[in-house]
Structure 1
């Protein structure tokens, strides 16, 4: 088995999958897939800190904070001071954010169905899900998997 080809296929598929779903969400709902992912984390939690969003999405705190800033400007979420930690804030969905999550759900699901369920029989999709769960668990235990900011060269 050519592991480099497997890597290339996996990365290219993920990129095409992301871009296709992102384009459809932008067109039909006016939200990016990245923005929707942030909203979904906040929805599941009820309320959370930017650090929690970063951890849930495996992105940097700075990236999560910028995403929350954009969503807040669009009226989809709010920040309020954390009651026990003056250094952080609590992110919550607005009514508009909750509505956007509901509106985006069927679009997201139909894209997943077309791009994952339609081409693969249920057994193959189950094997793929199992294999990816094992691989993700393995990489999450690897210290190099932590997101680190890129440094600029002088």
Structure 2
């Protein structure tokens, strides 16, 4: 197995998948995939801080803060004082953000089913997910060194 070819295929597939999902989300609900990703973390992690989003998405805290600012400016989330730590804030979705995320989730799942679920068997998807999890865990271990 030529790992360089595998690397190129993996990166190109990720880019093509991101672009396809992003284009469909923008067209059908007016929401970029980057904002959708952040909003999904905000809904899932409670309480949610900028640091939590950055960790979940493997992006910088500065980039995350700017993304939250953009989403907040659109009225889809808001920062509230953190009752456990006055130096930070927690991020929550607004009712409009909740509705948008619900609509976008259906579009997101449909596009993933089209691009992944309809192409690979359930077993192949489980194997692929397991391999990715193993690779990501190995990368986490290396960052600790």
TM-score class, shorter-chain normalisation, is: over 0.9
Q: 2:80 matched to which residue of 1?
A: 80
Gaps of 5+ in 2: none
Gaps of 5+ in 1: 145-154
Matched, 1:40 2:77: no
Q: 1:151 matched to which residue of 2?
A: none
Matched, 1:112 2:101: no
Q: 1:19 matched to which residue of 2?
A: 19
Q: CA RMSD in A?
A: 1.5
Q: 1:31 matched to which residue of 2?
A: 31
Q: 1:102 matched to which residue of 2?
A: 102
Deviations 1:83-139 (Å, cap 9, x if unpaired)? 243331111110011001110111001100011011112221121111111111111
Q: Find the aligned partners of 1:127 and 1:84 in 2 and give their Cα distance.
A: 41
SS of 1:90's partner is strand
Q: 1:121 matched to which residue of 2?
A: 121
The answer to which structure has the higher helix fraction is 2
Normalised TM-score (structure 1): 0.89
Deviation >6 Å, runs of 4+: none
Normalised TM-score (structure 2): 0.95
SS of 1:142's partner is helix
Q: Find the aligned partners of 1:22 and 1:42 in 2 and give their Cα distance.
A: 19
Matched, 1:92 2:80: no
Q: 2:55 matched to which residue of 1?
A: 55
Q: 2:3 matched to which residue of 1?
A: 3
Aligned residues: 145
Tell me by how many angstroms 1:22 deviates: 0.5
Q: Find the aligned partners of 2:87 and 2:22 in 1 and give their Cα distance.
A: 33
Deviations 1:26-78 (Å, cap 9, x if unpaired)? 11111111101111101012431101110111100011101100100000000
Larger mean Cα displacement after TM superposition, 109-118 or 75-84: 75-84
